[in-house]
Structure 1
Amino acid sequence: MNITPSLNGFSQQDGVWYAEGIRLSDLAQRFGTPTYVYSKKALTDAFSAYEKACHKNGRRRARVHYAMKANSNIAILNLFAQLGAGFDIVSGGELARVIAAKGNPAHVVFSGVGKTEHEMADALNAGIKCFNVESIPELTRLNEVAKRLNKKAAISLRVNPDVDAKTHPYISTGLKGNKFGIAYDDVLPTYLAAKQMTHCEIVGIDCHIGSQITEINPYLDALDRVLLLIEQLKSQGITIQHLDIGGGLGICYTDETPPDITAFANTLLDHIEQEGFGHLEILFEPGRSLVGNAGVLLTQVEFLKPGETKNFCIVDAAMNDLMRPAMYEAYHAIVACESNPNAPQATYDVVGPICESGDWLGRDRALQVSPGDYLAILSAGAYGFTMSSNYNTRGRAAEVMVSGQEAHLIRERESIPSLFALERLVP
């Protein structure tokens, strides 16, 4: 099976694949493999698609807060910061990356279920916009940390609306059985508890139901439940200033048909306005839909290994470089960077060199390749590099940003000595 999604920033011309104006095979030769390649045009266009809805008619108060866990390279963060993005973070390390990328901490929201005291203190000292609080124990800890620092912590509570996002169970976050958020029936008493805390200031409400969502109805269902809570909070004397509606919009990996980004954002914003909540500041937290189809992973064919029941195309990228197939059985289209008419056509499982049977990147792919050829694994811009590891003592891939005819190395390939530079022998 070979299904190739339509990609902005990447194209095939006369059997040759390009990143904007540069051949992918030229990038592979110049920077080596495995290497992640990102298109600046694709990143910019995806962001602009959200902005078109956020600033429709010049009346809306809506902002994109990029969910940077999808791809946290500081060059990409810097690009989004220049375009006007805020950021959704889930760790102190991600806050440090935002600052290194010249992002504004005042446009940062801090999500996640396990914030440490140290992370809370760093975020308060940096002056972030808001903490998305996910439990009463977290709320209590945050109040204590803020009191110790003589600061006020701006908070919103993350609501678990018990809405089925109809996505992979590992990336569904809005059901009762998920670890995320505060149970719907507990939201009002938790806000009332927060109202009594001397060093917490209620500013918003938050909801995020999952990732790789390709239908709009789950968003509308969750939104209606949250809007009802805002009304109930108002009756208790609690005023909400912003509504964070999360992210999770999917992309096309195979034959998915997610909504157009601008149409999706307009639908949600129109619904909020029609329900009488147009005065609220609205926060979007997209990740995958900004970066997923803006990146590919380049790899080189090492060996072709025929078998009795399977043919294997063994490449130099592996599950440590791209975890999604092994972790989720996720599909990524795989294409030859340049057509090779002299090679035999065959069906292969594309696999890496790691000593695990789960080390596969694509199954049953029709390819016409020879050893030494370069392949591109498409739609790899989200949860590719950020989920990579050093398993089998493998250095993580290089990262490159293409802009027109120019290519910029935005992360060097890790050297083997650097992988154990922090380790020590026992004397």
Structure 2
Amino acid sequence: MTIQTHFPYISSKMFAENVAISDIAKQVGTPFYCYSNTAISQNFKGYQQAFSEQDTLICYAVKANSNQAVLSTLAKLGSGADVVSEGEIRRALAAGIPADKIVYSGVAKVESEIEYALNQGIFQFNVESEPELELISQIATRLNTTAAIAFRINPDVCANTHAKISTGKAENKFGVPISKARLAYKQAASLPNIKVQGVDVHIGSQLTQLAPFEEAYKRIAQLVTDLTEDGHEISVIDIGGGLGITYSDEVIPSKKEYAAVAKAQLGHLACKIIVEPGRSLLGNAGIIVSSVVLIKTGEERQFLMLDAGMNDLIRPSMYDAHHEILAVDTTNTAQKIYDVVGPVCETGDTFSKSRQVNESKSGDLIAIMSCGAYGAVMASTYNTRMLAPEVMVKDNEFAIVRARPTYEEVINADSVPSWV
């Protein structure tokens, strides 16, 4: 079972730090996301400590959770940002993350986004292809500025993770094949207004073993050596993110062990290391809280029907992802087997099948765990359901950090042409 120390049970009732989940539900309504500020801070400080012996810039992967309260928390701790869109650059800047701590990844950057990033003076572009490099050079030349770049290298390493979040194999859409890297860097050095400064690698997400990291970093180390011999001045190695979390029973390497692999394989190169954690900072720092609508008895099974749906948390439907499902009040210790489902008009709106959960009734609160990353950021208003609000807790206080919209706000976002 997922261990989330910042969502403890006290007298059979679940808390977020020192606030009862039931108290939040009474004020906010369900479903809602709930984040522990302390958990986020401690996770980030864990990376700082693990990499303290290396020249490191920790750039939070904004795509994991882009709420401004999350970004502001990390900015105050000294975090940089790994972004994949102009919108994420704007979010990071608004939260107080300086431009010189922003690394711009993303597989299909468009001209307006590149121009915006250059005008802000970001630290580095992680370039995905030679055509993208040429576009950056053209825009930087027009703006009379210089773009610092690293190529994202595809090392053809199997990350042993879900196929949809594996990014470092030859068949994946990401990066420049390592076999073509030296030619790509040669081209970069010949283009105007381009500063070659780094090498980037990211092989996937939710990794539970260190061996894939070790193999990827070993290949990158040899590439950096080769590039140096070719005359390039490589001063930055972006090692990506990808360290997993415990969703159910996974045993995850520690941040210290992860940092040790990076140091062992790359330390001799005397480069600044950029780390891009996302899930491992936010995943187990958040939950989604839902109410039981009703218990439905089918022909072969019982359905625990919640007011949260796949539009609120799509990971189980998209990735067959496992999330622990826990009663907020465990006073009744009786257990039952349910299919836990939502209200969306899709068979795929299923959080789990044949799951043992505390026996429940209409109105009971249910917590779906490990939802701090890739939860609210992937939500939608499918079925014209309102986006779930987000709440942040710190010690004995909580605040709504994104409100639930009204139906009027959602409907009025549309406009009807005069000729309809």
TM-score (norm 1): 0.96
Map of 2:369 onto structure 1: 378
| Residue in 2 that maps onto 1:95 | 89
CA RMSD of superposed structures (Å): 1.1
Please tell me the residue identity of whatever aligns with 1:31: V
Equivalent positions of 1:226-375 (< 5 A) are: 226-273=220-267, 276-277=268-269, 279-341=270-332, 345-367=335-357, 368-375=359-366
Distance (whole Å) between structure 1 residues aligned to residue 334 and residue 34 of structure 2? 28
- Whether 2:30 is the aligned partner of 1:33: answer yes
User: What amino acid is aligned across from residue 411 of structure 1 in structure 2?
Assistant: R
User: How many Å separate the matches in 2 of 1:67 and 1:34?
Assistant: 25
Which residue is 1:206 aligned to? Answer: 200
Q: Which residue of the partner structure matches residue 52 of structure 1?
A: 49
Partner AA of 2:124 in structure 1: C
- Structure 1: distance between partners of 2:353 and 2:255: 30
Distance 2:401 2:389 in 1: 8
Choose which of 97, 100, 104 in structure 2 pairs with 1:106.
Answer: 100
Q: 2:210 maps to which residue? A: 216
Preserved CA contact (<8 Å) 1:340 1:369: no
1:80 maps to 74
Which residue pairs with 1:158 in the alignment? 152
Question: How much does 1:25 deviate?
Answer: 1.4
> Offset at 1:270?
3.6
Report the Cα offset of residue 340 of structure 1: 4.6
The answer on 1:13 being equivalent to 2:10 is yes
Query: What is the distance in 2 between the residues matched to 1:349 and 1:10?
Result: 24
Q: Which moved more, 1:12-21 or 1:209-218?
A: 12-21
Partner of 1:10: helix, strand, or coil?
coil
Match of 1:407 among 395, 398, 408: 398
Amino acid in the other structure paired with 2:168: G
The alpha-carbon deviation at position 13 of structure 1 amounts to: 2.6
**What do the CA deviations read for 1:131-183 (whole angstroms, capped 9, x no partner)?**
00000110011111111111101100000000000000000000010000001
- The Cα shift of 1:258 comes to 0.9
Counterpart-to-counterpart distance in 1, 2:125 and 2:19: 42
8 Å CA contact 1:299, 1:317 repeated in 2:
yes
* Aligned partners of 1:68 and 1:94 also within 8 Å: yes
- Structure 2 counterpart SS, 1:392: helix
Q: Distance in 2 between matches of 1:30 and 1:336?
A: 19
Could you report, residue by residue, the CA deviation over 1:112-142 in whole angstroms, capped at 9, with x for unpaired residues?
1100000000000011000000001100111
Q: Give me the TM-score of the superposition, normalised by structure 2.
A: 0.97
Q: Read off the aligned partner of 2:78 and give its amino acid letter.
A: G
* 2:221–2:265 contact (8 Å) kept in structure 1: no
8 Å contact from structure 1 (residues 322, 384) kept in 2: yes
- Once residues 317 and 371 of structure 1 are traced to their aligned partners in structure 2, the CA distance between those partners, rounded to angstroms, is 14
Does the Cα contact within 8 Å between 2:247 and 2:322 map onto a contact in 1?
yes
Question: Is this contact kept in 2: 1:134–1:180, CA < 8 A?
Answer: yes
Q: Hey, what does 2:60 align to over in structure 1? A: 66
The unaligned stretches of length 5 or more in structure 2 are: none
Alignment partner of 1:172 is 2:166: yes
Q: Where do 5+ consecutive residues of structure 1 fail to align?
A: none
Native 8 Å contact 2:8 2:14 kept in 1:
yes
Residues 344 and 62 (structure 1), Cα distance of their counterparts in 2 relative to 1, 3 Å cut: closer
Q: 1:181 matched to which residue of 2? A: 175
Distance apart, 1:12 and its partner CA: 1.6
**Counterpart for residue 40 of structure 2:** 43
Aligned to 1:424: 415
Per the TM alignment, residue 10 of structure 1 is displaced from its structure 2 partner at its CA by: 1.3
2:41 is paired with a residue whose SS is helix
Please state whether the residue corresponding to 2:287 is helix, strand or coil: strand
Deviates more, 1:222-231 or 1:365-374: 365-374
In 1: Cα distance, 2:166 partner to 2:227 partner: 27
In structure 2, do the counterparts of structure 1 residues 206 and 80 end up closer, same or farther at CA, with 3 Å as the change threshold?
same
Residue 119 of structure 2 is matched in structure 1 by 125
Instruction: Determine the C-alpha separation between the residues in 1 that align with 2:288 and 2:264.
Output: 37
Alpha-carbon distance, 1:422 to partner? 2.5
- Partners in 2 of 1:45 and 1:14 — Cα distance? 25
Residue 344 (structure 1) shift: 6.2
Identity %: 42
Is residue 43–residue 281 contact of structure 2 (8 Å, CA) maintained in 1? yes
The Cα shift of 1:335 comes to: 0.5
Separation (CA, whole Å) in 2 of partners of 1:265 and 1:16? 37
Aligned length: 417
CA contact (8 A) 1:395 1:413 kept: yes
